[in-house]
Amino acid sequence: MVEKKLSPEQYHILIEKGTEAPFSGKYIHFNGAGKFVCAACGSELFSSETKFDSNCGWPSFYDAKKDAVEFRDDLSHVMRRTEVVCKKCGGHLGHVFDDGSKPTGKRFCINSLALNFKVKR
């Protein structure tokens, strides 16, 4: 189920539900055309067409591929948030908020380390 061996940092994010430091991820300012896939299992998660600059410190998307992610309540850190996980492998990707871009109004705030990018062909 794992696409490749995860680095210790990827393991911390995807398996231990960690968070990378804001503005440190390789996909924050990335604007290539293609798809973002789960770094653990390779499942397609987000299209580059849904990526936008939210200036929150992590790559942001206004929508996920249909049936690619699941949502879970996250009550950690004395907050109530909605966790986003890969539907195929259960890997932690980040969180979703209701302060995003049109057309959905959602902001999927996703760790770069949880993603790989595949060029559009």
- Distance, in Å, from the CA atom of 118 to the CA atom of 101, rounded to the nearest integer, reads 23
Residue range of the domain that includes 39:
8-119
Which residue among 38, 41, 86, 109 is the active-site one? 109
Asked whether residue 1 carries a pLDDT value surpassing 70, the answer given is no
What is the domain count for the chain? Answer: 1
For the residues of the chain, what is the DSSP string, one character each?
Answer: --SSPPPHHHHHHHTT---PPTT-STTSS---SEEEEETTT--EEEEGGGEE---SSS-EES---TTSEEEEEE-GGG--EEEEEETTT--EEEEEEEEEETTTTEEEEE-GGGEEEEE--
pLDDT in tens, 46-104: 999 999 999 999 999 999 999 999 999 988 878 889 999 999 999 999 999 999 988 99
Residue 51 counted as domain residue: yes
User: Do the beta carbons of residue 108 and residue 100 sit within 8 Å?
Assistant: yes
Residue 106 counted as domain residue: yes
89 is catalytic: no
pLDDT in tens, 40-60: 999 999 999 999 999 999 999
Question: Which CATH number is 99's domain given?
Answer: 2.170.150.20
Residue 72 counted as domain residue: yes
